[in-house]
Chains A and B, each alone.
Chain A
Amino acid sequence: MTNQTYIVARATTASKAALVIMVSCVVVLLLVPLTGDRGSMRLIVEICYFLALAQMWNLLAGYAGLLSVGQQAFSGFGGYMLFAFVVYGGLSPLISLPLAGILAGIVSLPVAILMFRLSGPYFAIGTWVTAEVFKLVFFEIPLGGGSGMSLPIQAIRDISPTTEGRELIIYLTALAIAVGSVALVYSMLRSRFGLALTAVRDNERASASVGIDSFRLKLGVFVTVAAFTGMVGALIFLQKLRISPGSAFDVMEWSAGIIFIVVIGGIGRIEGPFVGVAVYFLLRETTANYGAWYMILLGLLAIVIMLFARQGLWGFLAERYRLTVFPIERRVRTVEPVEKAKPSNGISDTAISNLSLPPF
């Protein structure tokens, strides 16, 4: 009989340190409004919604294997629903935000059932076409048509009577949505749901042989991501105060940009979108004055990374230096002696004593 007992560990020293740093960053971000720097606040709001959209796309493509090029359908739809609730329903913009997300989730259900009949590149093209259909529909329906619509002054004042107050509320909401998106993805992936999702991504056929219903799982991810994306879309156009089909369903901004962020940062890793967003905004802020060079640089960088670090920047670093900020992996560790150690997830003495079979 062996004296060994085992624990299943999740956190690492690096991840614990990273958690402290992350919490500190959030605290610092909460203090930014005190500086009164409205330019920085607007930039941080933008970073927050790009991060949230990237986390959602990463969950969809990096974990569920659903390579959608049409998420702008749900961000645009969410934006429009916010305007509809406010203009025609008379609701407060802040209440309309989650409602827009819920509606986007509901609308995504039939879209998913239709799209799940396609796979691989056909799925990607199918989602893009769906987003274009959404755009065409919003050109036709009476929500401003092709020229779009603006939020009424009264609705803007409902958020706060002053511009500073409104910007503060939008800033805090954006921060909450960004933190919420990371918390949602992290908690999902650490749960049994995460085990199933990773198994389906790695080998769908084998996942079915161990009792995983991959269709239901992917449907759940698709709808959750669509709902969250819809809510982020509502926030984006609440900040912009104006919406039109062209801007709401822009494939370059809301799909290509997000895909760039995730691929550059590291697809299939929660840390990837953080790195991707940092690179994206760093490049944008430093090269935006050089016109087309900005886009050329972004494209070149994407090509170089896809050629030499296919796991993205974070994937490259994580594999080289064994870094993990958001540990979702379960690692088995030995604990001795058995008499004193009785961890919550440890194997019992009884189980150990049964291990008499020789390994083959």
Chain B
Amino acid sequence: MGAPPILELCQLDKAFGKIVIAEGIDLSVSQGEGLGIIGPNGAGKSTLFNLIAGDDRPNSGDILFDGRSINDMKPYQRSRLGIGRSYQIPQPFGKMTVFENVLTAAVFGSGTTVAEAEDRCIEILHRTGLMGEVNKPAGRLTLLQRKRLELARSLATRPRLLLLDEIAGGLTEVETQALINTIRDLRETGVTLIWIEHIVHALIATVDRLIVLNGGRIICDGKPREVIQSPEVRRIYLGVEPE
């Protein structure tokens, strides 16, 4: 018997006016599972994260976390439940230092005291390679550093379900490998991971399962290597016509 689901999306629909972003999405993610999401731009990947984290509300359908509906919960309530997220376009607290950004997430996301959280923040900043910028205002970071901060801040909330949105973009091969190692170590702690990424080999190295979104629908769901080999995925996502 597999692990119980931590997240279930049931017939989720979302449209902005006439533009359909999610259509009848059914998805179940087990506790401790690593799920990768790929799809072309505009496929609805980030909107799916917004629906799970509460930044957007679905037009219809249900979102269950630990078997309980979270449809009516606000983003801060979902964060406190254990849903941590990063943003595709980094959203730093610009005038606060890098350390204060992570500290704020640790204090309010995981409900610890400031003194307790300080030690853990230093550890996370080391892990994410931001110790050199620890006292710099987050608004002055480069794009790459901002992406690292997104990961650091989401880790600081002690998430049970971590939603990572394209954090590997712009990394060198060596940096990507280091990120893969970090994500693997993180997964060993039991965190459930959903990772949207265009760097497919990073996903293959870290997740158990891969889904492909296109036009707001899941068009393929399975083991990462099998999904990548699927003719339909190669045609839609990679632009490779089947022979």
Contacts and interface: CB of A to CB of B under 8 A. Distances in A.
A202 interface: yes
Interface string B184-208: 0100000000000000000000000
B93 A207 contact: yes
Contacts of A286: none
Interface of A: 6, 8, 192, 195-196, 198-199, 201-203, 205-214, 268, 329-332, 344-348, 351, 354-355, 357-360
Contacts of A345: 115, 118-119
Nearest to B177: A360
B171 interface: yes
Interface string B105-143: 101111101110011101100111111001100000000
Given A211-B80, A211-B157, A332-B134, A203 B122 contact: no
A246 B72 CA distance: 46
B100 A195 contact: yes
A145 B130 CA distance: 63
A11 B107 CA distance: 21
Interface string B83-96: 01101000111111
Contacts of B43: none
A210 B105 contact: yes
B53 interface: yes
Interface string B69-80: 000001110011
Contacts of B84: 209
Contacts of B101: 199
A332 B107 contact: no
Nearest to A350: B119
Number of chain B interface residues as a range: 35 or more
A318 to B, nearest CB: 12
B107 A360 contact: no
B104 A196 contact: yes
A208 B127 contact: no
A210 B111 CA distance: 10
B100 A329 contact: yes
Nearest to A348: B119
A198 B115 contact: no
B182 interface: yes
A351 B104 contact: no
Nearest to B163: A209
B109 A211 contact: yes
B15 interface: no
Contacts of A205: 55, 75, 91
A268 B96 CA distance: 12
Nearest to A191: B114
A360 B108 contact: no
A58 to B, nearest CB: 15
B175 interface: yes
- Residue of B85, B91, B94, B100 with most partner-chain A CB within 10 A: B100
Contact of A330 (B54, B103, B178): B103
Contact of B94 (A203, A332, A347, A359): A203
Contacts of A212: 76, 104, 108
A206 B50 CA distance: 12
Contacts of A332: 99, 122, 134-135
A210 B100 contact: no
Contacts of B75: 205, 208-209
18 contacts: A192-B108, A192-B113, A195-B107, A203-B94, A205-B75, A207-B76, A208-B55, A209-B75, A209-B85, A209-B87, A210-B109, A211-B79, A212-B76, A330-B97, A330-B100, A331-B99, A354-B123, A359-B128
Nearest to A213: B76
Given A195-B107, A360-B182, 19 more contacts: A8-B118, A192-B107, A198-B95, A208-B74, A209-B84, A210-B157, A211-B76, A211-B80, A211-B105, A211-B108, A211-B111, A212-B76, A213-B76, A331-B135, A332-B122, A344-B115, A359-B130, A360-B148, A360-B181
B7 interface: no
A358 B178 contact: yes
Contacts of A214: 76
Contacts of A201: 95
Contacts of B182: 357, 360
A360 B164 CA distance: 15
A153 to B, nearest CB: 52
Q: B101, B175, B176, B182: which has the most chain A beta carbons within 10 Å? A: B101
B229 to A, nearest CB: 28
Nearest to A215: B74
A213 B78 CA distance: 11
B217 interface: no
Residue among B130, B135, B179 with max Cβ neighbours from chain A (10 Å): B135
Contacts of B55: 205, 208-209
